[in-house]
Chain A
Amino acid sequence: MSQPFLEVKNLTVSFPTEDGLVRASNDISFTVARGETLAVVGESGSGKSVTSLAVMGLHDRRSAQISGQAILHLENGPIDTISAPVDVVRKLRGKSMAMIFQDPMSALHPYYTIGDQISEAWRLYNDGDKKAGIKRATEMLDLVGIPGAAKRVLEYPHQFSGGMRQRVMIAMALVNNPSLLIADEPTTALDVTVQSQILELLKNMQKEFNMAVILITHDLGVVAEVADRVSVMYAGKIVEQAGIDDIYYQPDHPYTIGLLNSIPRVDQLEGRRLIAIPGQPPSLISLPAGCSFRSRCSFASQVPNNLCASAVPDLDEKIGGHFSRCHLTEEQLKKARVSTGAQL
């Protein structure tokens, strides 16, 4: 693996509320290199977006408590976006790191033309008048596959379909050739057919710009298409982190196993029901002692001394490059995979 571009270390984001401290993401560490795609997977509220917004410096520092580091290894030295001054981080946004959001319907300003909005992003870091900005915007629209770019650049967001708007978002995020792209559920609001087009586009753009990509999603189908490595998040923590094949063929955490079992598959035996993960994720205000997944885990009883209830498992490297936060032994996990049919 090449030198990572982004190195997140022990990142914790919590929000003080009237009911108590919400630990939205808890001691998160991961890296992602240029040309690599890291997928961050987890259900709603598992802390995926909160983590990425913290990397981008988009949390309101008055309402969020953030600790840990998110180091960007830039050409002229590393910068930690968590501790760096607000203005320094702002000048990294759009240029060194860019982000696209879930809902392209609401993420574009309804009152400005597409060209205006892309040109605005470009002119922030480039010398050029508005005309040059619009020209650049047209090129970008062309690049992301919007037909008739020269005409459409003068149109408003409401004149675009959802998939086209997400293309516009991608064009806008990439206009300054960023080294890191964070895509926060970029396909969730789109039709399935459009989804795969957008994923294809993201893949091509990654090659074109040699970017590090963090893809946040709850859709393991999306992950399989584009990711190199996967981090599975649960209740604010990373519970498993591995290469794409390991995640699908050798899941090492009961939660990942559960997620994989809940995906409908073409080769599934007829009449077999999907296996859902029982229960609800715990409240992030008062996490239970021990493993957060314990109450929903059907294998917790196999761990001796009720260890799951008393000790938080560490994120251990089980096999090379494959980390998992579980008290079960590799042998037990293997059985678990077989018993639920998660292993192919």
Chain B
Amino acid sequence: MLKYLIRRLAATALVITLVSMSVFVIFAYLPMDPARLTCGKACTPNIIEANRHRLGLDVPVQVQYGRFVKGLVVGRHYGEGVASFECPAPAFGYSFNKHACVSTLIADAFPVTFSLAIGAFILWLLLGVSLGVIAAKRQGKWQDKASTAFVLVGISLPTFISGILILLLALKFKLFDPIEMGRWVSPFTDPIGWARNFIFPWITLALAFAATYTRFTRSNVLETASEDYIRTARAKGLSEKVILRKHTLRAALAPIITIAGLDFAGLLGGAIITENIFNLPGLGRLSIRAVLVDYDLPVILTTTLLAAVFVVVMNLVVDILYAYIDPRVRVA
């Protein structure tokens, strides 16, 4: 198990390095000049060149990457003299539009996105799995049909419609104070305020995801229920309750970990639509603003890189969890 872990960790580190390199190279060759973007219309070539130097963009791309990696570890210093500024480690770059280190922007946005993702994740897992189990146990009955209807609605309703509908309903029934909308409250200082702020975005995301999980759980439970070892469990004299909880669900839910991990990782990179609808200052909004409004390359670079890292790391977590759950994976 330890050997497996070390091997997987090494592979993960390698993948992250490669991803960061490719993202870096792609951004270096984009037909967009970050130095040009640092100042407005009344810019002279001299100022642009000076800014290029301050940003460290006047050296070859491999040197830029080297400095980037160094900055991640020890922090980074831009420019000289009065006009210089400092980004502590891990320094991802400096956003001229926001006049802030990218790491600061991320540090502000990530808790929001993480809160959104974790709450929605728990909600959709609970909802999707329990509906799926009920549908499987009551196969062909009204519960099954109702869950199929839920699945159809959930899958066909995009978040930009369901989110707006939920927002409208919440406002109409005064469940939600529009002034509070998008205000970040730490769960450690005010857990109730935090949950109140996030509950509708959670529901929006959970509805979209739960449908898939319902369908997946239902088919997995039905498939597992016809396995020989379930018949063995029944022949032992176990009650249906124990068979479902201990024998069927354990095997039926294992594959769900894989998709759940990847879905969660994807959300950590930012839920662009939901964050926009509910005015949440998370990573999704940070990156979409950087792309569409500000052309803020350091921010785009960082959020892209982060999203990739989340996926790679979650993959590792899923694999480790899977090895823990399924003993057959451990030896391989």
Contacts and interface: CB of A to CB of B under 8 A. Distances in A.
Given A90-B237, A90-B239, A121-B237, A107 B231 contact: yes
Nearest to B328: A158
A226 interface: no
A58 interface: yes
Contacts of B229: 106-110
Contacts of B81: none
B251 A93 contact: no
* Chief secondary structure at chain B's binding surface: helix
Interface in A94-130: 94-95, 98-99, 101, 103, 106-111, 113, 120-121, 124-125
Contact of A94 (B227, B235, B247): B235
A92 B237 contact: yes
Contacts of B251: 109-111
B237 A93 contact: yes
A91 interface: yes
Interface in B251-297: 251, 254
A296 B108 CA distance: 82
Size band of the B side of the interface?
20 to 34
Interface string B77-106: 000000000000000000000000000000
A15 interface: no
Interface string B197-241: 000000000000000000000000000000111011111111100
B237 A124 contact: yes
Contacts, number: 69
B238 A103 contact: no
Contact of A95 (B227, B232, B237, B247): B237
Contact of B235 (A91, A98, A110): A98
B326 interface: yes
B250 interface: yes
B325 interface: yes
Contact of A99 (B235, B327, B328): B235
A172 B236 contact: yes
B11 to A, nearest CB: 24
Contacts of A91: 237
A56 interface: yes
Nearest to B239: A90
| Most chain A Cβ neighbours within 10 Å, of B233, B236, B247, B325 | B236
A158 B327 contact: yes
Nearest to A57: B234
A172 B236 CA distance: 8
Interface string A73-105: 000000000000000001111110011010100
A156 interface: yes
A31 B1 CA distance: 53
Given A90-B237, A121-B237, A125-B237, A110 B328 contact: yes
Q: What are the nearest 10 A-B pairs in CB distance?
A: A94-B237, A93-B237, A106-B228, A156-B327, A109-B229, A121-B236, A94-B236, A107-B228, A99-B235, A107-B232
Interface of B: 227-229, 231-239, 247, 250-251, 254, 325-328, 331
Given A120-B238, A156-B327, 12 more contacts: A58-B235, A93-B236, A94-B235, A94-B237, A98-B236, A99-B235, A107-B231, A107-B232, A110-B229, A111-B327, A113-B327, A121-B237
27 contacts: A58-B231, A90-B237, A90-B239, A93-B234, A93-B236, A93-B237, A94-B238, A98-B235, A98-B236, A101-B231, A101-B235, A103-B228, A106-B227, A106-B228, A106-B229, A107-B231, A107-B232, A110-B251, A110-B326, A110-B327, A111-B250, A111-B254, A121-B236, A124-B238, A158-B327, A158-B328, A158-B331
